[in-house]
């Protein structure tokens, strides 16, 4: 029997619950410090206890996964805590395309794929000297918004950067990435592409709540001006959003363009869940600042099914369950090689 394994964090509960609902065995690679939490959930069949998630690369762990015919579901924690080389070296079959995760982590490659997919993007700013309007300054990799800051001039940039170095949030020689700030309504658009059916599904939209940029909005302007703190974009949680129906056609087109572009640049393409992240401006024009080439934590909102999936499936369908369903279908038709790498 195939089993589903994932790292204990991010969206592991949803992934394993979905797998259990589909009748698959569930395995959690769990840091010892979180054992008590995860033992609370009866749908987790087996815990592989580790001191650090990096142990997933060790022969011992890989052997255990192999004995269980496991497929590893990658999520944000895997991308944040392991290098692309490490992820690519995982011997256990990874759901989706593990090669595309490098394109998510590396800012230059990320931009290249987004351009290939013709996603409308904010302009990159090549150096602090070129800051002419409001920009957002980001760190490399999936830092989850921690240590990101906004600046409106070179001087402003230098002051904030120095302050964050003093606070040890960022390091002195850390390369930073500057991008024009896109104002509007945040929307994180999640899709699922099935290489078995060669079909794109739109799953849903979420919004991220980020501290303390959101906290700042609750403080009157006078106190904001007196504050010396550099606000960050650290994700705390997510909430649901539905879009004006007139925007859906363009959403599907963006998803399809992304799938086509990924097929061209990083075989076998964008299989499984992915997310296009950005903002809608006052003219309902979407600007995308980011993508995730795997399940995002925003899908946790829809553990009981999303509004858009209730239009496509006559049953409750979470993203975790959708992944497990794809694995079940591929197992039945002997096509697991089509959906894993
Ligand atoms: P994750 O991997 O968790 O998605 P990340 O480290 O790759 O995070 P981004 O998603 O690029 O970072 O940015 C983090 C947050 O910063 C976004 O959720 C958004 O609120 C804000 N943000 C990023 N880029 C822009 C932009 N160009 N304009 C406006 N806001 C932005």
What's the order of all strands across the beta sheet hosting 177-180?
A: 124-125, 177-180, 135-138, 149-151
- CA dihedral of 135, 141, 142, 148, whole degrees rounded to 10: -30
Tally of residues, the chain: 341
Q: Which helix (H) or strand (E) holds 188?
A: strand 185-194
CATH number, domain with residue 198: 3.30.470.20
Express each pLDDT in 312-332 by its tens digit.
999 999 999 999 999 999 999
Express each pLDDT in 16-32 by its tens digit.
999 999 999 999 999 99
User: What distance in angstroms lies between residue 318's CA and the mean position of ligand 1's atoms?
Assistant: 24
User: What distance in angstroms lies between residue 310's CA and the mean position of ligand 1's atoms?
Assistant: 29
Q: From the CB of 230, is ligand 1 less than 6 Å away?
A: no
Total domain count for the chain?
3
User: Does a structural domain hold residue 225?
Assistant: no
Q: From the CB of 144, is ligand 1 less than 6 Å away?
A: yes
Same domain for 239 and 128: no
Same domain for 189 and 112: yes
Q: For 125, phi and psi rounded to 5 degrees?
A: -115, 120
Same domain for 85 and 61: yes
Same domain for 277 and 324: yes
Q: From the CB of 122, is ligand 1 less than 6 Å away?
A: yes
CATH number, domain with residue 30: 3.40.50.20
Beta carbons of 90 and 56 less than 8 angstroms apart: yes
Is the pLDDT assigned to residue 216 strictly greater than 80? yes
Q: Report the alpha-carbon angle 265-145-253, nearest 5.
A: 40
User: Does a structural domain hold residue 112?
Assistant: yes
Express each pLDDT in 36-58 by its tens digit.
999 999 999 999 999 999 999 99
Domain, as residue range, for 155? 124-180
User: Does a structural domain hold residue 89?
Assistant: yes
Same domain for 240 and 142: no
Both tokens assigned to 145: 């918004």
Same domain for 190 and 172: no
Mutate to test the pocket of ligand 1, among 11, 80, 145, 181 (most ligand atoms within 8 A of CB): 145
Give the residue-averaged pLDDT of 96-109: 95
What gap in Å lies between CA 93 and CA 103, rounded to an integer? 19
Written as one string, the DSSP assignment of 170-187 is: S-TT---EEEE---SEEE
3-state secondary structure 192-214: EEECCCCEEEEEEEEEEEEEEHH
Give the residue-averaged pLDDT of 154-166: 94
What gap in Å lies between CA 126 and CA 60, rounded to an integer? 45
Same domain for 246 and 114: yes
Q: From the CB of 22, is ligand 1 less than 6 Å away?
A: no
The pTM assigned to this predicted structure is 0.94
What gap in Å lies between CA 203 and CA 35, rounded to an integer? 31
Give the residue-averaged pLDDT of 278-289: 97
User: Does a structural domain hold residue 100?
Assistant: no
Atom 8 of ligand 1, nearest CA residue = 144
User: Does a structural domain hold residue 156?
Assistant: yes
CATH number, domain with residue 131: 3.30.1490.20
Give me the percent of the chain exceeding a pLDDT of 70. Answer: 99
Same domain for 152 and 77: no
Same domain for 26 and 86: yes
**Helices 248-265 & 107-116 angle (0-180, nearest 10):** 120
Dihedral sign from CA coordinates of 263, 266, 267, 271: negative
Same domain for 211 and 331: yes
Which residues partner with 277 through β-bridges? 188, 290
Specify the ligand 1 atom closest to the Cα of 145: 14
Same domain for 89 and 44: yes
User: Does a structural domain hold residue 223?
Assistant: no
Same domain for 281 and 237: yes
Specify the ligand 1 atom closest to the Cα of 80: 2
């Amino acid at each position: 029997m195939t089993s589903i394994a994932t790292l204990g964090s991010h969206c592991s509960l949803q992934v394993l619950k979905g797998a259990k609902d589909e009748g698959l065995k569930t395995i959690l690679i769990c840091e010892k410090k979180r054992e008590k939490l995860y033992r609370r959930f009866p749908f987790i069949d087996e815990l592989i206890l580790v001191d650090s998630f990096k142990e997933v690369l060790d022969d011992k762990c890989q052997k255990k996964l192999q004995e269980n015919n496991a497929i590893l579901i990658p999520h944000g924690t895997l991308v944040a805590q392991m290098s692309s080389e490490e992820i690519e070296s995982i011997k256990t079959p990874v759901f989706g395309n593990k090669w595309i995760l490098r394109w998510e982590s590396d800012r230059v490659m990320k931009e290249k794929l987004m351009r290939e997919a013709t996603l409308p993007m904010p302009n990159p700013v090549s150096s602090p000297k070129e800051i002419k309007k409001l920009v957002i300054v980001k760190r490399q990799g999936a830092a989850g918004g921690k240590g990101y800051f906004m600046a409106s001039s070179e001087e402003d940039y230098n002051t904030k950067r120095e302050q964050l170095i003093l606070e040890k949030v960022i390091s002195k020689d850390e390369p930073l990435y500057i991008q024009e700030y896109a104002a509007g309504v945040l929307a994180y658009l999640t899709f699922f592409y099935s290489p078995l059916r060669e079909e794109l599904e739109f799953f849903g939209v979420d919004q991220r709540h980020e501290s303390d940029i959101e906290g700042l909005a609750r403080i009157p302007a006078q106190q904001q001006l007196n504050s010396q703190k550099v606000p960050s974009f650290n994700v705390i949680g997510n909430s649901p959003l539905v879009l004006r129906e007139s925007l859906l056609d363009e959403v599907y087109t963006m998803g399809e363009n992304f799938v086509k572009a990924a097929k061209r640049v990083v075989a076998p393409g964008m299989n499984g869940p992915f997310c296009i992240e950005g903002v809608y401006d006052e003219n309902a024009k979407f600007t995308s600042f980011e993508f995730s080439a795997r399940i995002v934590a925003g899908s946790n909102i829809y553990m009981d099914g999303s509004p858009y999936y209730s239009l496509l499936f006559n049953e409750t369908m979470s993203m975790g369950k959708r992944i497990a369903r794809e694995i079940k279908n591929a197992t039945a038709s002997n096509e697991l090689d089509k959906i894993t790498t």
